[in-house]
Amino acid sequence: MDKIVGLGNALVDVLAALENDTPLKEMELPKGSMQLVDEDKLRQINDNLAKMETHLASGGSAANTIMGLACLGATTGFIGKVGHDRYGDFFRQHLGRNHIDDKLLASPSLPSGVASTFISPDGERTFGTYLGAAATLEANDLTPAMFEGYTYLYIEGYLVQNHDMILRALHLAKAAGLRVCLDLASYNIVAADRDFFGLLVDRYVDILFANEEEARAFTGQEPLEALARLAARCDIAVVKVGAAGSYASRAGQTVHADAIPVPKVIDTTGAGDYFAAGFLYALIHGHPLRQCAEVGALLSGNVIQVVGTTMTAERWTEIKLNIKAILAE
């Protein structure tokens, strides 16, 4: 079976459900965005979190995707950086429990990264992210051995702010014969570094994931035209359009998959990450684009029905049965 290694920010999510969006305005966190915060802003966020009921989960975009793949039975690994603290221990233990090859490095001084995640009543999530140790992953931390034995490298777009590190990772991955998957990650990140994203897509990326806001930030176009432009620059392009499902394109073939019916959206954290996990799981098993997108929709539709990204063993059993049915069609 093809093996997938992820590279991303190793974060612990601290999740809190909001009664309304007023706290977001008070903290100056644009709804639906991912904002990097400094220690002063983190203290303000923590003051707000202290008044709320919170839930801990392992997080980070690429780590979520790798976790979803591991829960489906794929062989996976994860490269990231944590601190010597309880959050770092929590993250490492979570990898181990899910049989993910631990390629974590440790910072000698900075604490582990934390993604403070605020869930609005409509399920939309807003991140105030303190990267801490996660942001200290550097180009010279990466070695060829980290990529050996894998078929795919999955990268989150949040990492592109460190140009040297991301280019080193992609060079090593390509030298080892890996196919590269990139998720654009957040519309504001894409808009701020569009030229560099373009360089990555044109030179290195084989499979590209975006939601409609990210696709618009990158191409200036609406979903279908954006998809066509993205697909002209890589092997497979995917544009997710929320409740309207997703579109995927390869070699001139474009398919659409519906989103699954969801009785109530609880939390959209990880929706795109788990879509990518389902899509890639079907892809590495040799299935066509439509089935890849349908399995992606299945995982995405399930994870938005729970707080965070941790689903019960019973739910995973049901998901696997549903995947089997999709792939048998």
Q: What is the pLDDT of residues 290-311, one digit of tens each?
A: 999 999 999 999 999 988 788 9
* Cβ(299)–Cβ(274) below 8 Å: yes
Q: Which helix H or strand E contains 277, and what residues bound it?
A: helix 271-284
The tokens for 206 are 């084989």
What is the β-pairing status of strands 113-119 and 125-130?
A: antiparallel
Query: Alpha-carbon dihedral of residues 35, 38, 41, 46, nearest 10 degrees?
Result: 90
- Residue 315's Cβ-side half-sphere holds a number of Cα atoms within 13 Å equal to 15
Q: What is the pLDDT of residues 153-182, one digit of tens each?
A: 999 998 988 999 999 999 999 999 999 999
Highest mean pLDDT among 107-116, 276-285, 299-308: 276-285
Cα→Cα distances 61→10, 148, 270, Å: 9, 22, 7
pTM: 0.90
Model pLDDT, residue 197 = 96
Any idea which of 34-38, 69-73, 168-172 has the lowest mean pLDDT? Answer: 34-38
Residue ranges per domain, the chain? 3-11+58-111+132-328
Say whether 305 sits in a helix, a strand or coil: coil
Beta bridge partners of 237: 208, 249
Distance CA 156, CA 182 (A): 6
Model pLDDT, residue 317 = 97
The tokens for 220 are 């200036």
Say whether 235 sits in a helix, a strand or coil: coil
Band of residue 101 on the pLDDT scale cut at 50, 70, 90:
very high
Classify the C-alpha dihedral 176-181-187-191 as positive or negative.
positive
Distance CA 182, CA 166 (A): 11
Any idea which of 3-7, 129-133, 175-179, 265-269 has the lowest mean pLDDT? Answer: 265-269
Distance CA 280, CA 293 (A): 9
Q: What is the pLDDT of residues 213-235, one digit of tens each?
A: 999 999 999 999 999 999 999 99
Model pLDDT, residue 34 = 81
Provide the CATH topology of domain 3-11+58-111+132-328: UDP-N-acetylmuramoyl-L-alanine:D-glutamate ligase (3.40.1190)
Distance CA 268, CA 243 (A): 12
